[in-house]
């Protein structure tokens, strides 16, 4: 064997070993835990806190083991007072820290709306840039776990409406890892909406490559129609796309990821190609984020759309608890019906 061949084989072996080391199969819970661990290790100004986040590791164990490793001064429990948790976040940010608070369940964010809207979102603007708010608020979000009332909500439209806040929702472990690290590095407040029903989903996480972190991504390319979703609904749309393919319908699935700001260019590119769109989300229909998405699509693709943008969403009722979630959350049949309506649309 020549020296050059030997060197090539050695290089290939090293590259393969590196790839295996960088790509790890993790659940979303594990991916988020690893991201927090690395954020805490890299930045001594970072502090992680919330109800049961310290010794217990959080109700979903996202912060498991972090207090033991990084100490009680950097990972700690708080009283059961969401307004206090977010109010403390404001003070810590003003003092130069990078707070990563957790609201234990999405419905528990309501008592802290004053702090989120009137302080966190406005402080940088109010101080003319002198007091930035590098706060990453982790919010276990959406339904799908049959929890009691206020333990499953879909608040993205509420947060996205507030100037000064950025909103993001990962759909798989790889994105959860990279988007959390990216969000924590931003000087602006980010609402990080974690789909709690997907915490135990496993996937390959390439810790060396986060890809494009600032916009949407095509999860499945297609030709006939674009399904737009985020969070837990991305996986459901992938199931729908596979079923539609059995009938010869080639569906593209677009994971919006960032809900504020929305990647309008990605929407225009995808729907400009497929010429049809269905937006899927768990929140109620009226004034849901799907309306904003539909407007952006219509604005950029009006001349090429073959049908109005369809929305498949939750209903205009309070987010239900327990077994009623199955009736409320968009299911495969409802999404397929939405696709059918768009494909069969005929003008006048």
Residues serving a catalytic function are 151
The shares of helix, strand and coil residues in the chain, as percent rounded to the nearest 5, are: 45, 20, 40
C-alpha 131/C-alpha 129 separation (Å) is 6
User: In this structure, are residues 252 and 226 in contact, taking their beta carbons and an 8 Å threshold?
Assistant: yes
C-alpha 31/C-alpha 229 separation (Å) is 21
Which residues neighbour 228 within 8 Å (Cβ) at sequence distance 6 or greater? 254, 256, 267, 270, 277, 278, 279, 280, 290, 293, 297
Strand pairing category for 75-77 and 23-27: unpaired
User: In this structure, are residues 222 and 252 in contact, taking their beta carbons and an 8 Å threshold?
Assistant: yes
Nearest to 146 by CA among 283, 335, 328: 328
Containing 181, the helix (H) or strand (E) segment is: helix 173-184
Q: Cα dist. 6→1, 9, 12, 17 in Å?
A: 7, 5, 10, 17
Q: Which residue has the tokens 């604005």?
A: 299
Nearest to 321 by CA among 83, 106, 168, 138: 106
User: In this structure, are residues 257 and 230 in contact, taking their beta carbons and an 8 Å threshold?
Assistant: yes
């Amino acid at each position: 064997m020549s020296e050059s061949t030997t060197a090539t084989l050695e290089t290939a072996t090293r590259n393969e070993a590196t790839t295996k080391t960088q790509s790890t199969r993790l659940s979303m819970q594990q991916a988020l835990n690893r991201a927090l661990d690395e954020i805490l290790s890299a930045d001594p100004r970072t502090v992680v806190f919330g109800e049961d986040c310290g010794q217990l590791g959080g109700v979903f164990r996202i912060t498991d083991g972090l207090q033991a490793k990084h100490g009680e001064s950097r990972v700690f429990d708080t009283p059961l007072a969401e307004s206090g948790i977010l109010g403390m976040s404001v003070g810590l940010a003003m003092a130069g820290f990078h707070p990563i608070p957790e609201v234990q369940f999405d419905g528990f964010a309501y008592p802290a709306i004053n702090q989120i809207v009137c302080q966190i979102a406005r402080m940088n603007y109010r101080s003319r840039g002198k007091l930035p708010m590098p706060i990453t608020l982790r919010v276990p979000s959406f339904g799908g776990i049959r929890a009691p009332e206020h333990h499953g909500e879909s608040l993205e439209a509420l947060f996205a409406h507030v100037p000064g806040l950025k909103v993001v929702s990962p759909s798989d472990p790889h994105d959860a890892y990279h988007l959390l690290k990216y969000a924590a590095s931003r000087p602006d407040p980010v609402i990080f909406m974690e789909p709690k029903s997907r915490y135990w989903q496993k996937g390959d996480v390439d810790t060396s490559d986060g890809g494009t972190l600032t916009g949407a991504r095509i999860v499945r390319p297609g030709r006939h129609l674009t399904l737009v979703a985020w969070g837990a609904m991305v996986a459901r749309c992938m199931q729908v796309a596979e079923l539609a393919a059995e009938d010869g319908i080639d569906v593209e699935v677009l994971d919006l990821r960032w809900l504020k700001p929305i990647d309008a260019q990605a929407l225009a590119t995808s729907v400009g190609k497929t010429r049809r769109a269905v937006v899927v989300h768990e929140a109620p229909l009226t004034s849901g984020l799907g309306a904003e998405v539909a407007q952006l699509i219509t604005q950029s693709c009006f001349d090429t759309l073959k049908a109005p943008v369809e929305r498949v969403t939750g209903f205009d009722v309070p987010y239900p608890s327990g077994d009623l979630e199955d009736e409320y959350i968009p299911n495969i049949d409802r999404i397929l019906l939405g696709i059918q309506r768009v494909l069969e649309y005929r003008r006048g």
